[in-house]
A and B are shown apart, each in its own frame.
Chain A
Amino acid sequence: SAVISQKPSRDICQRGTSLTIQCQVDSQVTMMFWYRQQPGQSLTLIATANQGSEATYESGFVIDKFPISRPNLTFSTLTVSNMSPEDSSIYLCSVVAVEQDAYEQYFGPGTRLTVT
């Protein structure tokens, strides 16, 4: 199974600032994704992180607000830009890996962001 780590695990930020979240996987994976979980809510997909090209965003999410990088097969970053209190959420990295000819999906531990 793929082991995912995220940094930071949590942060408290002031409105108007930006935070970059890192996702590191211990093995090369096929796909990487970023999800958001607002307080008391379920998970919502933000975007697919594509290696070497622009991320693919879901409806309601834009690159200017959530720029994403994926320079290689094991690493990705998500930046939450110009933050407001509404951005307070848990941000989760997720990967799809091929195991025994099947695609398995794993989630990281999440980054808990509080915007004041």
Chain B
Amino acid sequence: TQLLEQSPQFLSIQEGENLTVYCNSSSVFSSLQWYRQEPGEGPVLLVTVVTGGEVKKLKRLTFQFGDARKDSSLHITAAQPGDTGLYLCAAYSGGSNYKLTFGKGTLLTVNP
């Protein structure tokens, strides 16, 4: 069973600061997804990274897929209170029981 480990588990920062959260595994993935979940809502897909070494940008968010496709990072520049939420990475496991496995997430709080 593949395991996605996210760090840090909790992060509290001030508005305007930069931050990076990580998603690591011993398994190789064909692709990896990042979601953000706000309180009282379901997760929303932010990005899917597919190619080793790939970098994708979504406004102030930068996503990177490791060269070996075992890890990924999410960097937020000049964080804003609206970035507050639970950031989850997820990947599909192969085989007959194909399913989406999630990390436990990084809970980010951006204070004004």
The answer to whether A and B come from one shared complex is: no
A residues apposed to B, CB below 8 Å = none
Q: Give B contacts to A, CB under 8 Å.
A: none
